[in-house]
């Protein structure tokens, strides 16, 4: 049979399979109508016919609790007198392509009364409209706010008079702050930019590349570093602003945090040191060890963020110095609980210095991060306890004198919403756990609650009666939407490891029918309501399930966690994907010939590794902003030493000097010819030049005449947050999966060009299959 004949047979087979699928569906429905099923299923079917399918637009417009975090089962911030609490909500507005943030205040004695709307901001950027709202006193609330056309600034709002004013200049972009209780001192981080004269000189004369990244050189970001910050202190009485006397530094804005002392004299924060001491390479944490060896004794014009240390700021002098000469934990941010007299502070998630002579103490310190009590300003350290490996602990202030609260979240990879809280009191012989509940424990509790199949709501729990009451349901429209049922499933991986995931059932599910499956990667929490999955980029679990697709959101197995930064990571993730397909196929739920994979960020490697290593058939795949640990990204971003070290770790070093074999066998860069699956790539944050990361994947597959598409968002985020960016990412992926898994197309005329393009890709796919 010739090539054209084989292609014709394959297309005919696809059509026949689709007809068979619809025939089975009709048979099942007819059987249900004619012969009946149990009353509960019939009632459910009748009810679902009156509901509207859950779509990507419904997910975008969903109102979320920002403060308290809806996924951590937290209580809202309470005013000092205990009479009020605040909440912050966020929702996407597709018509304006903004996110609406609202700050409300409730009176605890009148929780069912209408709350006070204190502030509303609409963000048109990738930054939040309202960030880090906190009580200053019983009337005033501070926060970072941003409206369209503005840069974020620090605001103070009077919740009684309902007025607010900005404390920072309209030209200064604030990323983090803290304000003293007397409203006399404000400390904040703002975006740093080099002197314009220096940029003009570089532009006219040229300059020698030192630490600049290839991405920044191409898109011009070298003029204005995207994540470089400087610290400032403002006296709110005199208006005087002083810049902190230290070089600017690169940092992840999500890690920026400032802790002012009660008297406003000092502040504790984490920053990258000017020079990383050689002794830091002896810590046992793999990330600390790798980065410390790479940066050892190097000095840069802008301090790097690969590792940070706790630092102490004197707000009167503007001088910041090292508080603990040791790296902060890589498993979470440092946290601080100041003593009431500002003469000491308990610090969590820090390592302790290794400049000691006791061998046993040296071994303990290099093996564990810790919680420690530090004298201010001298820096004398009292060890309180060690933090178990891979666990995240936090400390926070307590209203009880001479005490602090310890919050234990457990493993960082699967932070539990049911965190354990313990009170520790300082006594003559040190810190002792207070096992009796504090006397001021309230009669009622207020928190955001959710479950796997129930969206977050603000709840009041009465301790005396045990009764729960809904104070705010921010998404009543969900009652009119058809939500797919999600359940926790367990299975065993191919290497005998335990696996867990969340399985979304198709809303039209009928027993006996095998449905398509989309596997979404990058973590799973069994207590959280996640209509998209773990992130908003590309993931769209509920919309896919509403289109007749099983969606499995897979968690991280212990095997995968242990394999990070090693070549074992690929086989560990492959075991997860293949065993999930075997399990769901074995119990008769899915058609294993119609399976799609979706990865985002670090789990992009998981998808691409499976595509070139697995013998299983995948009908379609998406990798959005995905790491691939390939040769091209290693070279393109290698001028960032932390990236170079991290990329080399799995292969045992750089590819040269006789080390090519592990790269060639395991890197995607040398294995594109083994990929036979239509692949949708996505680049969403071009402000940092991430499209370069995807270019090798796109060009290689295109050059090999394989079906590949690269979706590009010019000013997105990681993950995408703006409504139209989410629509392009998530709806585009829904369309992609339905096209390849179910041969379905959206009749929207505006998508005609999209499907014409994809039909051309399908022709390429048929030719690819024919050549196998």
**Average pLDDT of the residues of the chain:** 88
More confident residue, 334 or 15: 334
pLDDT at 444: 57
| CA angle (704 as vertex; 703, 709 as ends), nearest 5 | 70
Rounded to an integer, what distance in angstroms lies between the CA atom of residue 606 and that of residue 599? 7
Cβ 143 vs Cβ 165: under 8 Å = no
* Nearby residues of 327 by Cβ (< 8 Å), 6 or more positions away: 280, 283, 288, 292, 307, 308, 309, 350, 351
pLDDT at 186: 97
Read off the pLDDT band of 97 (50, 70, 90).
Answer: very high
| Burial track 96-117 (b if 16+ CB lie within 10 A, e otherwise) | ebbbbbbbbbbebeebeeebee
Closest CA to 531 of 481, 489, 576, 581: 481
What is the full DSSP assignment across 587-621?
TT-EEEEEEEEEEEGGGHHHHHHHHHH--S--SEE
pLDDT at 9: 40
Q: End-to-end CA distance of the chain, in Å?
A: 15
Tell me if the bond preceding 68 is cis, omega within 30° of 0. Answer: yes
pLDDT at 392: 81
Order the strands of the 468-472 sheet from edge to edge: 444-451, 454-462, 468-472
List the helix and strand counts (H, then E) for the chain: 18, 38
More confident residue, 540 or 392: 540
What is the full DSSP assignment across 253-291?
GGG--EEE-TTSSEEEEEE--SSB-GGGGGSS-HHHHHH
The predicted-structure confidence for 321-378, as pLDDT tens digits, reads as follows 999 999 998 777 899 999 999 999 999 999 999 999 999 999 999 999 999 999 999 9
Residue 596 has pLDDT above 60, yes or no: yes
Cβ 696 vs Cβ 214: under 8 Å = no
**Burial (0-12, 13-18, 19+ Cβ within 10 Å), 616:** middle
pLDDT at 31: 34
What backbone torsions phi and psi does residue 573 show, to the nearest 5 degrees? -75, -35
Domains of the chain in sequence order: 484-771 (3.40.50.1820)
Residue 43 has pLDDT above 90, yes or no: no
Q: Give me the mean pLDDT over the 467-484 stretch.
A: 95
pLDDT at 175: 96
Cβ 306 vs Cβ 289: under 8 Å = no
The predicted-structure confidence for 127-178, as pLDDT tens digits, reads as follows 999 999 999 999 999 999 999 999 999 999 999 888 899 999 999 999 999 9
Q: Give me the mean pLDDT over the 608-616 stretch.
A: 96
pLDDT at 411: 59
H-helix segments, 310-442: 359-367
Most trustworthy range by pLDDT among 119-123, 202-206, 445-449: 119-123
Residue showing tokens 């640990």 = 629
Instruction: Give the total residue count for the chain.
Output: 772
Rounded to an integer, what distance in angstroms lies between the CA atom of residue 337 and that of residue 402? 10
Residue showing tokens 């047979």 = 9
Cβ 481 vs Cβ 51: under 8 Å = yes
**Burial (0-12, 13-18, 19+ Cβ within 10 Å), 605:** buried
More confident residue, 525 or 414: 525
H-helix segments, 339-403: 359-367
Q: Give me the mean pLDDT over the 382-389 stretch.
A: 90
The predicted-structure confidence for 698-734, as pLDDT tens digits, reads as follows 999 999 999 999 999 988 999 999 999 999 999 999 9
The predicted-structure confidence for 199-254, as pLDDT tens digits, reads as follows 888 888 898 888 788 888 888 888 877 789 999 999 999 999 999 989 999 888 88
Q: Give me the mean pLDDT over the 371-399 stretch.
A: 91
Pair of tokens at residue 4: 């054209």
pLDDT at 417: 55
- The Cβ of residue 477 has, within 10 Å, a number of other Cβ atoms equal to 13
* Nearby residues of 750 by Cβ (< 8 Å), 6 or more positions away: none
H-helix segments, 427-500: none
């Amino acid at each position: 049979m010739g090539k054209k004949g084989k292609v014709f047979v394959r297309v005919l087979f696809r059509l026949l399979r689709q007809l068979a699928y619809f025939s089975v569906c009709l048979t099942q429905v007819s059987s249900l109508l004619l012969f009946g099923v149990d009353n509960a299923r019939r009632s459910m079917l009748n009810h679902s016919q009156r509901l509207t399918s859950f779509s990507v637009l419904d997910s975008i417009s969903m109102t979320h609790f920002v403060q308290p975090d809806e996924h951590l089962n937290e209580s809202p911030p309470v005013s000092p007198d205990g009479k009020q609490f605040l909440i912050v909500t966020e929702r996407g507005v597709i018509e304006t392509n903004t996110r609406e943030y609202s700050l409300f205040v409730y009176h605890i004695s009148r929780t069912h009364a209408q709350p006070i709307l204190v502030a509303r901001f609409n963000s048109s950027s990738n930054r939040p409209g309202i960030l880090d709202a906190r009580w200053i006193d019983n009337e005033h609330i501070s926060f970072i706010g941003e409206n369209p056309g503005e840069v974020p600034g620090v605001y103070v709002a009077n919740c009684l008079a309902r007025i607010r004013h900005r404390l920072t200049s309209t030209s200064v972009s604030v990323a983090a702050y803290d304000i003293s209780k007397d409203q006399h001192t404000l400390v904040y981080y703002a975006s740093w930019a080099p002197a314009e004269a220096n940029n003009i000189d570089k532009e006219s004369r040229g300059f020698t590349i030192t630490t600049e990244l290839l991405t920044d050189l191409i898109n011009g970001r070298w003029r204005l570093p995207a994540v470089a910050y400087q610290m400032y202190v403002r006296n709110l009485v005199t208006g005087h602003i002083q810049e902190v006397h230290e070089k600017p530094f690169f940092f992840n804005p999500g890690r920026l945090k400032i802790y002012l002392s009660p008297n406003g004299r000092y502040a504790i924060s984490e920053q990258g040191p000017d020079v990383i001491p050689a002794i830091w390479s002896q810590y046992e944490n793999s990330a600390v060890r790798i980065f410390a060896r790479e940066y050892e004794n190097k000095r840069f014009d802008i301090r790097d963020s690969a590792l940070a240390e706790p630092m102490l700021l004197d707000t009167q002098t503007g001088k910041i110095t090292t508080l603990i000469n040791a790296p902060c934990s890589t498993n979470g941010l440092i946290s601080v609980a100041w003593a009431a007299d500002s003469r000491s502070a308990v610090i969590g998630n820090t390592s302790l210095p290794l400049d000691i002579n006791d061998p046993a103490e040296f071994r303990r310190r290099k093996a564990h991060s810790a919680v420690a009590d530090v004298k201010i300003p001298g820096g004398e350290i009292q060890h309180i306890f060690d933090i178990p490996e891979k666990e995240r602990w936090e400390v926070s202030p307590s209203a009880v004198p001479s005490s602090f609260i310890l919050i234990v979240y457990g493993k960082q990879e699967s932070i539990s919403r049911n965190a354990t809280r313990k009170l520790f009191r300082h006594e003559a012989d040190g810190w002792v756990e207070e096992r009796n509940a504090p006397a001021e424990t309230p009669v009622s509790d207020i928190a955001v609650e959710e479950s796997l199949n129930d969206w977050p709501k603000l709840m009041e729990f009465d301790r005396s009666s045990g009764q729960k009451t809904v104070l705010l349901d921010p998404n009543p429209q969900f009652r009119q939407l058809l939500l797919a049922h999600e359940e926790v499933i367990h299975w065993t991986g191919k290497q005998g490891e335990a696996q867990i995931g969340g399985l979304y059932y198709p809303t039209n599910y009928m027993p006996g029918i095998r449905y398509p499956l989309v596997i979404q990667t990058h973590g799973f929490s069994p207590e959280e309501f996640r209509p998209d999955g773990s992130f908003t980029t590309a993931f769209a679990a509920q919309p896919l399930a509403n289109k007749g697709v099983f969606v499995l959101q897979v968690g991280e197995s212990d095997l995968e966690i242990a394999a990070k930064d090693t070549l074992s990571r690929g086989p560990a993730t492959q075991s997860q994907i293949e065993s999930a397909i075997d399990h769901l196929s074995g119990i008769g739920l899915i058609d294993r010939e119609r399976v799609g994979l979706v990865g985002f960020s670090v789990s992009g490697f998981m998808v691409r590794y499976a595509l070139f290593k697995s013998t299983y058939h995948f009908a379609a795949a998406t990798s959005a902003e995905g790491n691939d640990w390939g040769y091209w990204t290693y070279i393109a971003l290698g001028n960032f030493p932390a990236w170079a070290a991290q990329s080399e770790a799995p292969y045992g070093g750089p590819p040269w000097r006789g080390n090519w074999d592990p790269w060639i066998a395991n890197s995607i860069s040398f294995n594109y010819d083994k990929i036979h699956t239509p692949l949708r790539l996505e680049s969403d944050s071009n402000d940092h030049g991430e499209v370069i990361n995807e270019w090798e994947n796109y060009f290689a597959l295109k050059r090999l005449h394989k079906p590949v598409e690269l979706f590009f968002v010019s000013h997105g985020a990681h993950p995408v947050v703006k409504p139209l960016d989410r629509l392009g990412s998530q709806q585009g992926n829904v369309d992609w999966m339905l096209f390849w898994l179910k041969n379905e197309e959206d009749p929207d005329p505006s998508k005609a060009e999209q499907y014409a393009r994809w039909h051309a890709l399908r022709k390429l796919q048929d030719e690819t299959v024919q050549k196998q």
